[in-house]
Chain A
Amino acid sequence: MKALDYIVPKSAAAAVELLSDYGETACLLAGGTDLVVDLKHGAGRVETLVDVSQLQECRGIEETDEGLRIGSMVTYGEIMENSICLTKTPEIVAASHTVGAVQTRNLGTIGGNLVTCVPSADSAPALMVLDAEVTIAGTEGNRRIPIEDFFVGPRKTSMQPHELLIDIFIPKKNLGKPSSFYKFGLRKGQALALVNAAAALELINGEITSPRIALGAVAPTPLRAIKAEELLEGQKPNKELITKAAEIAVAECKPIDDFRASLKYRQQLIRTLTQRVITRSLEVANER
């Protein structure tokens, strides 16, 4: 690894200020599971690391009257052991469990995963189906945006270079919403997602209400299958409906064709995973 400077700011405001001062030569260090690898490969022009992993503003998981707040620097390991997450957002726990392995989950943070913004980020679909929002700190103060607006392209978010992701917020109405997460990788342990998918929905009087379907690794960014959701809204669930929703989801995605998997196979996975997350979410809803 090339020579670097390493700074530990004591507040989010200090971090943002450091980023503004140093410009593109500075980079935020969260868990480091991606960044340190990139730095070893000599990527970019980074000369200064600003370690925000221990910033109080970015830590902690709390439930408030409005909903659930997960600090951006909370590790996957911490989410998996958190009793609120285990009961209120089990699909986020499930998604966290599929990230890397124990050692990487203990380093890797949910915020780092979102900011790195790879299309296959496992936490993204699970957060998207719960209408999560993110808080971003900049020189002008904090702003909060829907998570869908956060992802712009592969490794590109809507954050400005000097901004810092503070936390992730899930509205109260979606805590405990029947949901499901499914990831398909090239092996069982430590796999990158070929496709990952999540769904959340309510069953009211036997009709699907506020369905959400999100898919990862199927387009330049994680995405919501809005048209498939529209098809499901207000319908009584049946097999043909789910099959049709899955076909629509396939049409909504733009997967790549690479050495890990062909386009055609990724489409098959989108089809299968969409069916499975909808079906499973319905089962969860019915179990209530």
Chain B
Amino acid sequence: MLVKIKVNGELRSADVPPETTLLKMLRESLDLTGTKLGCDVGDCGTCTVIVDGVSVNSCLMLAGRANGSEITTIEGLADSNTLHPLQEKFEEHGALQCGFCGPGMLMSAKDLLDKNPDPSIHEVRDALSGNLCRCTGYTKIIEAVIDAGRVMRKEISA
């Protein structure tokens, strides 16, 4: 079936079998490999993308269901001149180690800050609880999200 989506601002389409997940379509049909497959059953969060303004596990969403949607993946977070404040702060804090959880983690963090620009530490923990990380203990990730929020609220400069 033909699935047409708007990914990171661009209209894209792919002819995929109906059982294709959005994750598989992004990675294999659209060559957007930034989004990762870690468990394939919605436990680890490495496949998190934003669909029509809400974060979802793209491994649990069939491509057909995303048809007509607007999707943001990790590849759409920066623009050609600047990094997103989350990307800047993750780098600055050394928030990612092996990095495999990173794309999903950043998408969840973006989803949070888009809706709640000034989250408490507990709210950050809650928002990221669907993204498992084995390397970092989450500490620097949380610090980076809080800091990125401050940049986005223009309390501190990047």
Instruction: Flag whether A226 is at the interface (Cβ < 8 A).
Output: no
Instruction: Flag whether A103 is at the interface (Cβ < 8 A).
Output: yes
Instruction: Flag whether A40 is at the interface (Cβ < 8 A).
Output: yes
> Which of A3, A37, A40, A101 is most buried by chain B, counting CB atoms within 10 A of its CB?
A101
A101 CA to B48 CA in the complex, in Å? 11
Stretch in B38-46, B95-103, B144-152 with 4+ CB within 8 Å of A: B38-46
Specify the chain A residue showing the minimal Cβ separation from B127: A102
Specify the chain B residue showing the minimal Cβ separation from A38: B41
In the complex, the answer to whether B42 meets A33 with C-beta atoms within 8 Å is yes
Instruction: Flag whether B18 is at the interface (Cβ < 8 A).
Output: yes
In the complex, the answer to whether B62 meets A103 with C-beta atoms within 8 Å is no
Interface size counted on chain A using CB atoms at 8 A: 29
Residues of B within 8 A of A141 (CB): none
Residues of A within 8 A of B18 (CB): 3-6, 49
B interface footprint on A3-29 (CB within 8 Å = 1, 0 otherwise): 111101000000000000000000001
A interface footprint on B98-131 (CB within 8 Å = 1, 0 otherwise): 0000000000100110000000000001110111
Instruction: Flag whether B153 is at the interface (Cβ < 8 A).
Output: no
Quote the shortest CB–CB distance from B117 to chain A (angstroms).
16
In the complex, the answer to whether A107 meets B56 with C-beta atoms within 8 Å is yes
- Which listed residue (A53, A101, A106) contacts B45, Cβ 8 A? A101
Instruction: Flag whether A190 is at the interface (Cβ < 8 A).
Output: yes
In the complex, the answer to whether A102 meets B64 with C-beta atoms within 8 Å is no
- Which listed residue (B1, B45, B125, B126) contacts A103, Cβ 8 A? B45
Query: Given A5-B18, A6-B18: A51 and B57 within 8 A (CB)?
Result: no
Instruction: Flag whether B21 is at the interface (Cβ < 8 A).
Output: yes
In the complex, the answer to whether B60 meets A104 with C-beta atoms within 8 Å is yes
In the complex, the answer to whether B19 meets A2 with C-beta atoms within 8 Å is yes
Instruction: Flag whether A204 is at the interface (Cβ < 8 A).
Output: no
In the complex, the answer to whether A104 meets B41 with C-beta atoms within 8 Å is no
> Which of B57, B64, B112 is most buried by chain A, counting CB atoms within 10 A of its CB?
B57
> Could you tell me which residues of chain B, from 24 to 50, have a CB within 8 Å of some CB in chain A?
40-43, 45, 48
A63 CA to B18 CA in the complex, in Å? 37
Q: What is the count of residue pairs linking A and B with beta-carbon distances less than 8 angstroms?
A: 86
B interface footprint on A106-125 (CB within 8 Å = 1, 0 otherwise): 11000000000000000000
In the complex, the answer to whether A39 meets B55 with C-beta atoms within 8 Å is no
Residues of B within 8 A of A173 (CB): none
In the complex, the answer to whether A188 meets B129 with C-beta atoms within 8 Å is yes
Residues of B within 8 A of A171 (CB): none
A40 CA to B23 CA in the complex, in Å? 14
Specify the chain A residue showing the minimal Cβ separation from B57: A103
Query: Given A6-B1, A104-B60, A107-B57: A40 and B40 within 8 A (CB)?
Result: yes
A49 CA to B127 CA in the complex, in Å? 31
In the complex, the answer to whether B42 meets A104 with C-beta atoms within 8 Å is yes
B interface footprint on A41-67 (CB within 8 Å = 1, 0 otherwise): 000000001010100000000000000
Residues of B within 8 A of A4 (CB): 17-19
Instruction: Flag whether B61 is at the interface (Cβ < 8 A).
Output: yes
Specify the chain B residue showing the minimal Cβ separation from A37: B41
Instruction: Flag whether B65 is at the interface (Cβ < 8 A).
Output: yes
Quote the shortest CB–CB distance from A207 to chain B (angstroms).
38
Query: Given A103-B45, A103-B108, A104-B130: A36 and B21 within 8 A (CB)?
Result: yes
Quote the shortest CB–CB distance from A121 to chain B (angstroms).
16
Quote the shortest CB–CB distance from B90 to chain A (angstroms).
18
A101 CA to B64 CA in the complex, in Å? 23
A-B contact sample (6 more), CB < 8 A, given A33-B60, A103-B48, A188-B129? A5-B18, A29-B65, A31-B60, A36-B60, A36-B62, A107-B61
A interface, CB within 8 angstroms of B: 1-6, 8, 29, 31-33, 36-37, 39-40, 49, 51, 53, 77, 100-104, 106-107, 188-190
